[in-house]
Structure 1
Amino acid sequence: MSANSIPITPKSPPTKARINKLLQELCMERSQLQVLKKLEGMALSEGENGRRCMAEFGVAKAMVSLITKCFKRNSVYCLEEALRVLNLVIITRVSTMIMNEIEGSDFLDAITWMLRCRSDAHKQTRTLGVSVLKSLVELESSNVLERLKPDLFEAVVWILRDRVSREALKSALHVLLSSCSWGRNKFKIIEAGAVFELIELELNGCPDKRTTELILGVLDHLCSCADGRAKFLGHAAGIAMITKRILRVSTAADIVAVKILASICKFSGTGEVVQEMLRVGAVSKLCMVLQADNEGGVKAKAREVLRLHNNVWSNSPCIQIYLFTRYTR
């Protein structure tokens, strides 16, 4: 039998007894850092099944408890290491257990606290903290998501403003996108200043394709209400930024960008807004969408926008009349 044909024995998952021993040692402050390193190493060496066992045997609960204690003591000792372990063992199938633990604790306040630590020394802690928050929000527990506090969203928006790291930015955007549809979160996010920061991030952050799609996705949700549209129009470059992204990023981005313009035109289409769309080339870009090889849904939405103010735009020297006569009937 050749060496290549020798079967590999699957690695046994960690035992409950071994995990219990480590968690008992974790209670002794002098050994906490060493135990956390062992748990992190174990989680890194295990597959998903092994990490699920770790979570089910109490590791996730212990990390939530330890992080909450750090918050109450205003201490960052072992905080980064505990966040690393929790990031590794958050598994969707044990979400109920984790959420039950969080609902009865100050854990979300602890997350808010660490996201507010704005010194350079805490960049990694903030990155890990918002990554944990992303995982929790994506578990979609309504009991948690509907009770997220305004100051948590303010802290998440600070992640965008401070450009903490590329990973932190994407996690923060996922948090905002996943939270928008629950309760009054949309209004809390708007009040936290997210609209302005999202536009600024897209303008100045040199985002990649996926980041742009996330930014536009959040803006689409926020612009579905009057307060969000007002904040969007309050930024001098809002319409111009959306216009520039159409036909330059991806089909997914085109769909959302045109939806944003549709919301603006339909519900906030004042004379000033309509003229701004002409001035920055938004109307011309919508005409280009009709000519491009896009899916039908995007073209239908673009056509809808053009029809809303056709009486203004068709008389403008900025637009070629044949585009309207050909595509907007």
Structure 2
Amino acid sequence: MDNIEVPEYFICPISLQIMKDPVTAITGITYDRQSIERWLFETNNTTCPVSKQPLPRASDLTPNTTLRRLIQGWCTLNAANGVDRIPTPKLPLGKFHAINLIRDLYQPDLQIETLIKLEGLAIENDRNRVFLVEAGLAKALTSFIISCYDQRQMNGLEEALSLFYLVRASLSQSPGPLTENDEIFDSLVWALGGDCLPDNVVVKSHAAYALRVVVQKANPGLVERLKPEFFKSISRFLRAENSNISQQGKTSLLHALLDACPWGRNRVTMVESGAVFDLIEVELRSPDHKKTTELVLGVLCHLCSCPDGRAQLVNHTAGIGAVTRPILKVSLTADDRAVSIIWLIAKYCGTKRVLEEMVRVGTVAKLCMVMQANCAVHLKEKAKEILRTNYDVWNDYSPVSEVASSLTRFILFN
């Protein structure tokens, strides 16, 4: 094989290998299908690799059957020299085939069989996943999951949630709202609580991820009207030790809470459901999980914009300590959120007891360190404002360390 000269036009410009399924793009350049689809669908490029002309991923790739037959004939002639024959490629998923399959998902007697076919196609490649989403898979899946909930019927639910997870990237990038039916929230919460499914840890993780995507992509009017039971259920799943929800699943639930926070009504409802206490407990149980810490602090930062949210945080025996610990230990995002929470607490709940607690758990020392570290300017300004405003109280508090007191004095007066 090494001594055989391969015709140049048999070689894919991307992989530099003999093409197995040559297709021609709208720019007139021929590539191996696997290579150009990876270029378009996995790496999200929108230009032709050779001509540099625009090449939208929705554009057709025309099979070059003449070239494929030439390559197959050449391979057969050179089989004695170690060249493998290239089989006729499998017909790729077409847009109309995808639409017809998704229509079958609405037929009760075809649903399970169709879900299995769709899952197999989604596993194959990114191109299939994009086509399925563009053909309306999201609406069909949410409709199926809701019907399972309405009938309290688990058959097919595992496959539907797995398929939802497989196409997650394409769903996140799809324009427009994912659903107009608010029953999807109750349906996914029900799936999270189902213990009769096989391998329920995986199923629940998929349900949690679906919930995250639905909150992110649903009609904003639906998200704004989320029920108190929704937030209570998520809080219950997050704090439960034996809920069979993986760390990845809990991360998805925290994302869902964070995406629901921009609406003031949701923040009030979350506070009333006891979410502040539950989030602090989640952080205390996962002190070394970076993403969990960032998300918990993100939600707490929103909830502390409410007076009752701040009151709940300072009334938790480990509340201020849980917010203080991550500063300068986790990430810049965690620093930003934690300092913002402390700023809110110090400004609106800065009683003598709270300020003394900040000394005891090391908040004052951490704020001083923020002033000396390579932090963003706005963080330093917040830290300085907190220190300056409460300097007299902290300076007179006997347990404060001499180092922290001296550093605070240096920051404020130099």
Q: TM-score, normalised by structure 1?
A: 0.89
Determine which of 139, 149, 154 is the counterpart of 2:227: 149
- Residues 115 and 159, structure 2, Cα contact 8 Å, conserved in 1: yes
The amino acid that maps onto 1:322 is S
Distance 1:272 1:247 in 2: 25
Query: 5+ unaligned residues in a row in structure 2: which ranges?
Result: 1-5, 20-31, 38-60, 62-91
**SS, match of residue 5 in structure 1:** coil
Cα distance, 1:32 vs. partner? 3.2
Cα distance, 1:5 vs. partner? 3.1
Matching of residues 209-228 of structure 1 within 5 Å: 209-228=290-309
Distance 2:133 2:411 in 1: 57
Matching of residues 1-329 of structure 1 within 5 Å: 1=6, 4-7=16-19, 8-10=32-34, 14-23=93-102, 25-27=104-106, 29=108, 31-47=110-126, 49-89=127-167, 91-92=171-172, 94-96=174-176, 98-99=178-179, 103-104=180-181, 106-117=183-194, 122-139=200-217, 141-162=219-240, 164-317=245-398, 318-320=400-402, 321-329=405-413
- Residues 202 and 215, structure 1, Cα contact 8 Å, conserved in 2: yes
**What are the superposed Cα offsets for residues 57-100 of structure 1, whole Å, 9 maximum, x if unpaired?**
2322221111111001111111111112223335245443632x
Cα distance, 1:296 vs. partner? 2.1
- Residues 190 and 227, structure 1, Cα contact 8 Å, conserved in 2: yes
The amino acid that maps onto 2:149 is F
- Residues 52 and 94, structure 1, Cα contact 8 Å, conserved in 2: no
Structure with the greater relative contact order (CA < 8 A, sep ≥ 6): 1 or 2?
A: 1
- Residues 115 and 155, structure 1, Cα contact 8 Å, conserved in 2: no
Which runs of structure 1 show a deviation greater than 6 angstroms over 4 or more consecutive aligned residues? none
Cα distance, 1:139 vs. partner? 2.6
Question: Greater helix percent: which structure?
Answer: 1
Cα distance, 1:27 vs. partner? 4.9
Residue 41 of structure 2 corresponds to: none
- Residues 106 and 140, structure 2, Cα contact 8 Å, conserved in 1: no
Q: Taking structure 1 as reference, are residues 120 and 56 closer, same or farther at Cα in structure 2, changes over 3 Å only?
A: closer
Cα distance, 1:22 vs. partner? 3.1
Cα distance, 1:222 vs. partner? 0.8
Distance 2:197 2:364 in 1: 43
Distance 2:292 2:335 in 1: 14
**SS, match of residue 96 in structure 1:** coil
**What are the superposed Cα offsets for residues 94-134 of structure 1, whole Å, 9 maximum, x if unpaired?**
443632xxx24622221232233367964333221221121
- Residues 290 and 302, structure 1, Cα contact 8 Å, conserved in 2: yes
Give the total of aligned pairs: 325
- Residues 80 and 124, structure 1, Cα contact 8 Å, conserved in 2: no
- Residues 328 and 335, structure 2, Cα contact 8 Å, conserved in 1: yes
**What are the superposed Cα offsets for residues 136-158 of structure 1, whole Å, 9 maximum, x if unpaired?**
22236322221211111122212
Task: Name the % identity.
Answer: 38
**SS, match of residue 157 in structure 1:** helix
Cα distance, 1:193 vs. partner? 2.0
Distance 1:193 1:119 in 2: 28
Distance 1:105 1:199 in 2: 29
**SS, match of residue 345 in structure 2:** helix
Cα distance, 1:242 vs. partner? 1.8
Q: Which moved more, 1:24-33 or 1:236-245?
A: 24-33
- Residues 63 and 86, structure 1, Cα contact 8 Å, conserved in 2: yes
CA RMSD in angstroms comes to 2.4
Q: Taking structure 1 as reference, are residues 237 and 28 closer, same or farther at Cα in structure 2, changes over 3 Å only?
A: same
- Residues 115 and 156, structure 1, Cα contact 8 Å, conserved in 2: no
Residue 22 of structure 2 corresponds to: none
Q: TM-score, normalised by structure 2?
A: 0.72
Query: 5+ unaligned residues in a row in structure 1: which ranges?
Result: none
